Amino acid sequence: MKRRFLATLILLATLPSALAAAGAPKPFERGSWQKLLHAHAGHPTLVHFWGVTCGPCKVELPQLGRFMKDHPGIDVVTISADLVPNLPEATRSMLDSAGLASAENWIFGDGFAERLRFEIDPAWQGDIPRTMLIARDGIITTIEGSAEIADLNKWSDTQAAATR
Partner 1 sequence: MISHKPAARMLLAAAMLAAFPKLARAQMSHQHASEAACEETVLRCASKVTPAFAPDGTLWLAWMAGGQISVASSKDQGKSFSAPVQVTRERLNLDWGPDARPKLAIDAKGDIALAFSIFRDQAFNGQVLTTRSTDGGHSFDPPRPITANNESQRFEAIGFDPAGAVFAVWLDKRNRVPAQRRGEKYDGAGLFFASSKDNGATYSDARMAADNTCECCRLALAFDGAGHPVVVFRNIFEGGVRDHAIVTFTDLATSGELHRVSRDDWQIAACPHHGPSLTISSAGTYHVTWYTNGKARKGLFYARSRDGGKTFSDPLPVGQLNHSPSRPQVIAGPQALAMAWKEFDGQKTSINLMTSHDDGATWSKPTVIADTADSSDHPLLVSDHRQTYLSWMTKADGYHFQAIEGEP
Stretch that binds partner 1, among 37-45, 65-73, 81-89, 155-163 (CB under 8 A): 81-89
| Residue 141 makes contact with partner 1 by CB under 8 A | no
Q: Which of 37, 62, 101, 126 binds partner 1 (CB under 8 A)?
A: 126
Residue 31 or 157: which CB sits closer to partner 1? 31
Residues 88-117 interacting with partner 1 (rule: CB under 8 A)? 88, 90, 93, 108-115, 117
Whole-angstrom Cα distance, residue 69 to residue 54?
Answer: 23
25 sits in which H/E element = none
| Residue 128 makes contact with partner 1 by CB under 8 A | yes
Q: Which residues pair with 28 in a beta bridge?
A: 108
**Amino acid in position 150:** A
Min dist. Cβ of residue 88 to partner 1 (A)? 6
| Residue 21 makes contact with partner 1 by CB under 8 A | yes
| Residue 8 makes contact with partner 1 by CB under 8 A | yes
Residues 6+ apart with CB under 8 A from 159: 44, 73, 74, 135, 136
Count of residues engaged in binding partner 1, rule: CB under 8 A: 55
Is residue 34 within 8 Å of residue 119, measured between CB atoms?
yes
Counting other chains too, the contacts that 35-40 makes at CB distance below 8 Å and 24 or more residues apart are 36/77, 36/106, 37/134, 37/138, 40/75, 40/77, 40/134
Q: Which residues bind partner 1 (CB under 8 A)?
A: 1, 3-4, 6-8, 10-11, 14-15, 18, 21-27, 29, 51-57, 82-86, 88, 90, 93, 108-115, 117-118, 122-123, 125-130, 144-146
